[in-house]
Amino acid sequence: MGLDRLFFSHRLPRQYLHVGGTGVDVYRVENHRSRKVQALPVLSFSDVDTGEFADWCAGLDREDSGVILNAGYFIYNIFSFQKLPLRQRSRDELILWRLKKRFPEDLEQYTHTYFPMGRGRVFSVLMRRDLRDRIVELFAGAGRPLIFLGNSTVGIMNRLFRGASPPDMFVEYDAGQVTCCFQRDSVPFYIRKFRVNGGGDLAAELGKTFDFVAQNHGFSVHSSARVFNDGSGVAGALEAMLKQREIRERPVTSYADLILPDIR
């Protein structure tokens, strides 16, 4: 199981489809900023046929394209090692060994990608192989070059945690799908995904997560960033919970800009 080249891009796609919890939006990328140009009907890459997808792509330019899916399509793990091997093959084998201990399912059903984050930590990402292959097949059938297949959380992590004064954690919310990630000295150390039904659920689950991180990692949260794709119905509950815990919110740029691959 090698690294999936589509998760690593050496240049930004000129356009990309963001597959979120409420549908699919098409963005143009100009000067590292995203501009929404089209909303597609709600689609499932698993069910749509090639001809239908080609029709939907008729309005897209025939140039470098990307797909960014929300966190619901992925399985995340953060692994810690005393030291990572310098040789790529040895490093791959060590991380795969750790993953097999954590994840008992048949890994051949998944494509695996990992990102070294420093201090011996690795961010591991699993995606269903059949979904990955289907997306590649659909773009090929539509005559659109696919150069990047990524997920929203990695883009947010890279852009928020690499700054001069990053927030202690961020909350990513997309139509009930929540991902919260915590960092110490700009290196993520804990990530959790869960689904909620309303603002009360979100506040309760985040409160439990803050307590778990404090008790098991000795880390108190003082600042947070809210990264919402669609969260108008839960924003008030989140604000109230953070205020009660005296956690300040950090302003962030748009969700669409944060989820782009971080090309340096």
| Domain-located, residue 244 | yes
pLDDT tens string 61-88: 888 899 999 999 999 999 999 999 989 9
Question: Are 12 and 1 contacting, i.e. CB atoms less than 8 angstroms apart?
Answer: no
| Domain-located, residue 225 | yes
| Domain-located, residue 45 | no
Model-level pTM? 0.90
| Domain-located, residue 62 | no
> Which range marks the domain in which residue 175 is found?
154-258
| Domain-located, residue 115 | no
Sheet holding 74-80, edge to edge: 74-80, 121-128, 110-118
H runs (alpha helix) in 5-151: 50-56, 88-102, 129-141
8 pLDDT more than 70: no
3-state helix, strand, coil split of the chain in percent (to 5) is: 35, 35, 30
Give the total number of structural domains in the chain.
1
| Domain-located, residue 89 | no
| Domain-located, residue 9 | no
First-residue to last-residue Cα distance in the chain: 27
Residue 198: CATH number of its domain: 3.30.420.40
Tell me, what's the pLDDT at 178? 96
Pick the range with the lowest mean pLDDT from 46-50, 169-173, 180-184. Answer: 46-50
| Domain-located, residue 68 | no
Confidence of residue 5 (pLDDT cuts 50, 70, 90): low
